[in-house]
């Protein structure tokens, strides 16, 4: 039961952090003068990594909400055994939690990598740096990525807990046999 309460608390934190990240990226925009009479607005749509990040973060937050609802409904008559629906729920949570951590960590890292090009540019490839023009935009994206990494870390702990609550029901002697 302790594991369940910790897990529920962590899922709430992860959901809030993911929504914060998604909103910070989604509503980030800055208009600036690039050449003397040509102004441009930078939004998350300009970088497909950021677009993917918003999509993945919102999906992951939705998944965590569904998990919280399912666990809330089951909580009153929860038994720590692995009969019928509990076994399926445990496997389903384990696999999806793992997948969600991989996705949000990878989306964050991809955005970070692309943002690094925004900050430094890539002289060899004739890619110009952008963050000297779009200063506030870049700072907000930086904050969002920090928030996203904290969410990934907490989600990794959630996935450890769901692996723990699945596998502790299996026999230590024979392979993939329930106790």
Beta carbons of 105 and 152 less than 8 angstroms apart: yes
Beta carbons of 58 and 18 less than 8 angstroms apart: yes
Residue 8 touching a copy of itself (CB under 8 A):
no
Least separation in angstroms between CB 148 and a copy of itself: 12
Cα first-last separation, the chain: 19
Of 65 and 95, nearer to a copy of itself (C-beta) is 95
Pick the closest to residue 118 from 106, 126, 127 (CA basis): 127
| The one among 33, 66, 119, 128 contacting a copy of itself by CB under 8 A | 128
Q: Which SS3 state, helix, strand or coil, does residue 133 take?
A: coil
Interface of this chain with a copy of itself, residues 131 to 170, rule: CB under 8 A: 156, 160, 163-164, 166-170
Q: Most distant CA pair in the chain: distance in Å?
A: 74
Residue 126 touching a copy of itself (CB under 8 A):
yes
Where along the sequence are the contacts to a copy of itself (CB under 8 A)? 1-3, 40, 46-49, 52, 80-82, 98, 101-102, 105-114, 116-117, 122, 124-128, 130, 156, 160, 163-164, 166-173, 175, 179
């Amino acid at each position: 039961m302790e594991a369940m309460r910790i897990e529920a608390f962590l899922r709430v934190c992860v959901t809030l952090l993911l929504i914060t990240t998604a909103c910070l990226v989604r509503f980030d925009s800055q208009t600036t003068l690039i050449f003397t009479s040509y102004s441009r607005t930078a939004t998350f749509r300009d970088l497909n990594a950021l677009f993917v990040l918003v999509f993945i973060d919102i999906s992951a937050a939705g998944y965590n909400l569904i998990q919280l609802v399912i666990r809330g409904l089951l909580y009153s008559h929860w038994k720590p055994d692995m009969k019928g629906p509990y076994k399926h729920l445990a496997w389903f949570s384990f696999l999806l939690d793992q997948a969600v951590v991989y996705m949000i960590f990878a989306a964050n890292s991809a955005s970070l990598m692309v943002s690094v090009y925004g900050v430094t540019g890539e002289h060899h490839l004739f890619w110009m740096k952008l963050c000297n023009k779009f200063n506030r935009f870049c700072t907000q994206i930086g904050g969002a990525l920090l928030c996203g990494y904290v969410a990934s870390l907490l989600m990794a702990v959630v996935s450890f807990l769901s692996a723990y609550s699945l596998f502790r029901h299996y026999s230590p002697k024979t392979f993939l046999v329930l106790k």
